Amino acid sequence: AQKITQTQPGMFVQEKEAVTLDCTYDTSDPSYGLFWYKQPSSGEMIFLIYQGSYDQQNATEGRYSLNFQKARKSANLVISASQLGDSAMYFCAMREGARAGSYQLTFGKGTKLSVIP
């Protein structure tokens, strides 16, 4: 079974509107971290936001917020007031465990977001 599932291969949003990118995850570990990265056409992965499994509140970073629903195992990214520069691939990723050596991120297949002027 895939650990990270992003069901939207592509999304369109009007400039200045909000958009939600879906992410569900699968783990039996009670301790994990969830990340969102943006990958523009230049190829570099840019960190956007982080949510820990024990965090009580949803994470926010500027125009980015994470809608964390632990029981449903979902961690959707919300981008408010979309800008043309937001057009890119977006990846959800997870790091499992608090045990020593738990360091690698597992990524989903990504969602391509296109912002329309």
Provide, rounded to whole angstroms, the least separation between the CB of residue 14 and other proteins: 25
Chain contacts with other proteins (rule: CB under 8 A): 4, 31-33, 35, 37, 42-47, 50, 52-53, 91, 93, 95, 98, 100-110
Residue 2, C-beta contacts closer than 8 angstroms, at least 6 positions apart = 26, 108
Strand partners of residue 106 = 94
Provide, rounded to whole angstroms, the least separation between the CB of residue 26 and other proteins: 15
Provide, rounded to whole angstroms, the least separation between the CB of residue 117 and other proteins: 26
Encoding tokens for residue 67? 């809608």
Provide, rounded to whole angstroms, the least separation between the CB of residue 98 and other proteins: 7
Choice between 9 and 117, CB closer to other proteins = 9
Cα distances (angstroms) measured from residue 98 to each of 23, 30, 33, 93: 22, 9, 10, 16
Choice between 42 and 117, CB closer to other proteins = 42
Least Cα distance to 35 among 104, 115, 112 occurs for 104
Choice between 16 and 70, CB closer to other proteins = 70
For residue 66, the surrounding DSSP H or E stretch is strand 64-69
Choice between 108 and 115, CB closer to other proteins = 108
